[in-house]
Structure 1
Amino acid sequence: MRIGYRTIKTAIGIPISVLAAQLLGISNFVSAGILTILCIQPSRKRSVLSAWHRFLACVVASLFAVIFFELISYNPVVIGIMMLFFIPVTVWLKVTPGITTSSVIILNMYGSGGVTSSFLIDQLLLIVVGIGTGLLINLYMPSLDKPLRRKQIELENNFQTILREFALYIRDKNENWDGKELNRSEELLQEAMSLVSLDKENHLLRTEHPYYDYFVMRRKQFELLQKMLPLVTKLPETDAISIEIAAFFEKLSDAVHPGNTAVLFLDELDRLRESFDQEDLPETHDVFITRANLFRLLHEMEDYLVLKKKFKESDVPVGKSIKKRPR
């Protein structure tokens, strides 16, 4: 069983906040640990927002407690009546995450049996220590570059396999592939985008993320690969142009990487189209269906390559072209 960073932070933060509250002589010092638990969040941005919401909610709760308990009475029924007014106010102030935290302060003030200025200062210190400790502990966030890089590598390996299997089916009608790379790629894209969103929240002053555009581009390419699959599986015949397109898929499979060499394959695609135009007209229905699906396949592949071409500056020197692969 793996212990996550939030668990480790909680285990560290609770004793620190409780000890700090004890050293400051705060009554109900154990409540500092509760406030710290509630402030440990998955990202820096959420932690800062959480700290602000909880601090403001606690201040408002203190004011409500003074008004209701001192003007009415210290009675459990009064707690319920006060919450009927307090919760709508937190909704209006947009600090509803602080309701749970502020409830700790309300119950502390109820348990005191009487509110004095020294007790209010005591509770303010409790809020600062509890929430502040959680905020400081949460400022450290592990880098997500390594897990994102691992997902990038695995995704590219899957793309290579998918393209290679397309080539095998076009050429040999190979039906041994179980398609697991398609399902796994979809999972990887979802996981990666979640990590990217989390990592963006860990950098409060950064609006862009180096992996965001990459995985958005790969998601669009993956959708095109999904559209290609039924076209690949509906090729009744195997002719000369089919063999050329299969070879093209193989070369493309070998070139799946973070760089941008799409311009080379777009040039190759244009040459394939020229070969396509020079073929004799189909004489049978099966040949017609094959040609029609191959033509659509070339169109989808062009969209696939254009996405990569637009993603970043080309890594290919101007004037360079693909050498024809021996077949």
Structure 2
Amino acid sequence: MRVILAQPRGFCAGVVRAIDTVEHALRRHGTPVYVRHEIVHNKHVVDGLKAQGAVFVEELAEVPTDAVAIFSAHGVSRAVETEARARGLRAIDATCPLVTKVHEQGRRYAAKGYALILIGHAGHPEVTGTLGQIPAPVTLVQTEADVDTLVLDADTPLAYITQTTLSVDDTRGIIDALQRRFPQIVGPDTRDICYATQNRQTAVRELSQQVDVVLVVGAQNSSNSQRLREIAAQAGVRSYLIAQGSELKPDWVRDAGAVGVTAGASAPETMVQDVVAALRRLAEVELLTLPGREEHVVFRLPAELAAEAAAAEVATP
């Protein structure tokens, strides 16, 4: 069996930064450190951080007063930030800088008087946080069909922003629909969507041209992983989303001459190799990696940790 790995795949800079944030906080402040929501959408990662002393909660009310509270990579609302300050929590913001960029775009448009549309998935933590970061009404649009139902004053200036983990193709379709209905609408170019989302989607499209089956390693609640599976399926290739090798069903790959493997931005390489190991138990494997874009993006730690690290260096004789 030929097993072909997509390139790039797996962790992006925002996920690496979020995980590093929790680990640095644990080393600096000791246990426990509280994390609001899953730091990233991956059970393997979350369980690993739990083992180091991180405690995951859904609401800040579960965090003791004066404790360290970390916000996940998906971002939080202004109300959550205000609650943390009011309760005296030592808050550390691990929001991905590219998500923060969307927040800033939205606030700039709102400040200029634009009616704002957010393209995203209702209930996703990133969308919930973005809606709560903009001090103005925001209309959520999830599909091209939603665009037809919008009731907006024709004279109102209109702008859009997007969830970072959506499919570029899906986003472009919705933007096109908005531009047809509202020719004066403004917004960021689709190239401004998360670089990791674009790169992984491009890679899975190329992978789908060379394999019979695509296995996407990632969590079921990972939006970007779900999009990768959908893109492979749209290319006419059987595709499955699995968290680890134990979930692989032999029937999926029994007649496949070539199996493609990729991973969502929150899936660690260890889980990719776990899936490859499961394939090796079914057949002798020839393992190849597609040539693809190399990523060298690195995001700095949150300012709270960076400042503490700098102070510690100064205090060290």
Structure with max Cα Rg: 1
Q: Which has the higher contact order (CA 8 A, sep 6+)?
A: 2
Q: TM-score range by the shorter chain?
A: under 0.3
TM-score w.r.t. structure 2 length? 0.26
Structure number having the greater helix percentage: 1
